Amino acid sequence: MSNTATQIPYKIYLREDQMPAAWYNLRADMKTKPAPLLNPGTGKPMTEQELSNVFCQELARQELDGETRYIPIPDEIRNFYRMYRPSPLVRAYCLEKKLKTPAHIYYKFEGNNTSGSHKLNSAIAQAYYAKQQGLKGVTTETGAGQWGTALSMACSYLGLDCKVFMVKVSYQQKPFRREVMRTYGAEAVPSPSDTTAVGREILARYPDTTGSLGCAISEAVEAALSQPGYRYVLGSVLNQVLLHQSVIGLETKTALDEYGIKPDLVIGCAGGGSNLGGLIAPFMGERLQGKSDCRFLAVEPASCPSLTRGVFAYDFADTGRVCPLAKMYTLGSDFIPAPNHAGGLRYHGMSPILSQLYHDGFLEAVSVPQREVFQAAETFARVEGILPAPESAHAIKAAIDEALRCRDSGEAKTIVFGLTGTGYFDLVAYQRFHDGEMTDEIPSDEALARSLKKLPRV
């Protein structure tokens, strides 16, 4: 490292004209591509035609495009990005000092917009293509509420209807997120609901269920298919979402390149994999081309450990089994994680792109219990000032652990992590942590084996 620490500012801000003009499609540089989505009826790969019954046409195309390396970002989307991008890359000097580590720590902060997370990067893209196609509106699910909020903002900006099936437990526990969505004109429905056939069926079978993402997805898909002029959109997992989120990584790389910095380790929390997939994209591209030996680490909650304890197999993307089958690390589509406080990390499967990279040894993964995560969140908030989302704090926890290893070994590694959002809507969780009421929920091997027994045979 030729730079002395003092030459690098606390925040590296890019100019607007340094924002990426195109998304980077990591699949183009993967030798082993992620496996195709399969039609659950025929077992054959989904065609663009089939996908476009559910998704917008252009998004169906992006989903299937494993070859085009750069896909231009339409001007209207770039203009929207200008409201809150480029986002800052922060050198965590205060955290380094606190940890007495020789490591250099950077974080890319995506919480600088009203939705409070990176999800807006894909929400505006998906809403834009729906509008382009002349659709009336979109339906979706939301767990913790960040995706629903982001999509509401994007839809109100473009004048589209937005119907959000919100996992019931979050709908009840997070009334404020609901109100943000309503402020942006979206309709929020607690899921499972009696407004869809699949919701009614799940309610009949499990009357006390507090809902799950898998179930809300089934309802949202059904709602889109049963109304002309509507399509379904999804905030994570899919190839198209990782594509849009590549703006995070592209900006990070431009900022680091300005100072000649090469990361040794890039860390991100992983729910469905979109922020991590976007953050690592250009760095992983270099690694796949043999131009770098940067390491990559996915951090997941011990309560929902799809990479570290799941299996790599075709599975249903949703509880109602209406979506295409995806080959991914999965805990089984029936798996309902304990109600941990990182709602954005409660999906049973992982992005097919990240799953393939993990399977091929390019990505590492670790799972962490939630009390240690909140401890890390608090340490971070006290020195860096930002109140992190519980999801983001998973990445903080792993970055701190690595920085402490550097302290012991004396290595001055460069660590970059994704700070995906802020935690203002998660203060009940912080309260539980401070009051000593938080527990670590770790599923038993038997519980995982039970849900994995129901994987589809492909």
Ligand X SMILES: *Cc1c(COP(=O)(O)O)cnc(C)c1O
The residues of the shown chain that bind ligand X, judged by CB under 6 A, are 117, 119, 146, 236, 269-275, 344-345, 389, 391-392, 420-421
**C-beta of 121 vs 319, nearer to ligand X:** 121
Pairwise CA distance, residues 36 & 38, whole Å: 6
Closer CB to ligand X, 117 or 196, in the complex = 117
β-strand pairing of 311-316 with 325-330: antiparallel
* Least distance from ligand X to the Cβ atom of residue 245, Å: 7
Residues 380, 398: contact at Cβ < 8 Å? no
295-301 vs 265-269, strand pairing mode:
parallel
Contact 327, 34 (CB under 8 A): yes
Q: Which ranges constitute the DSSP H helices of 133-184? A: 146-158, 168-173, 175-183
Which CB, 117 or 140, lies closer to ligand X?
Answer: 117
Q: How far is the CB of 147 from ligand X (least distance, A)?
A: 6
Give the CA count within 13 Å in the CB-facing half-sphere of 307: 29
Q: Calculate the alpha carbon distances from 321 to 40, 238, 346 in Å.
A: 8, 16, 18
93: which 2 tokens? Answer: 């000097």
Q: Taking the complex as a whole, how short is the minimal distance between the CB of residue 276 and ligand X, in angstroms?
A: 6
Least Å from the CB of residue 249 to ligand X: 12
Taking the complex as a whole, the smallest distance from the CB of residue 235 to ligand X amounts, in Å, to 7
CB of 456 to ligand X, least distance (A): 23
Q: Which is nearer to ligand X, 316 or 417 (CB)?
A: 417
The DSSP result for 376-427, as a single string, is HHHHHHHHH---B-HHHHHHHHHHHHHHHHHHHHT---EEEEEE-BB-GGGH
Q: Tell me how far, at minimum, the Cβ of 154 lies from ligand X, in Å.
A: 15
Q: State the DSSP H helix or E strand holding residue 414, giving kind and residue range, or none if neither.
A: strand 414-419
Please, what is the minimum distance in Å from the beta carbon of residue 173 to ligand X? 15
CA geometry: angle 430, 434, 435, nearest 5 deg? 115
Nearer to ligand X, 249 or 421 (CB): 421
Contact, 91 vs 166, CB < 8 A? no
Nearer to ligand X, 173 or 274 (CB): 274
- Give helix then strand counts, H and E, for the chain: 18, 15
Extract the tokens encoding 272: 């469905």
Beta carbon nearer to ligand X, 88 or 273: 273
Q: Which H or E element spans position 107?
A: strand 104-109
- Residue (137 or 390) nearer to ligand X, CB: 390
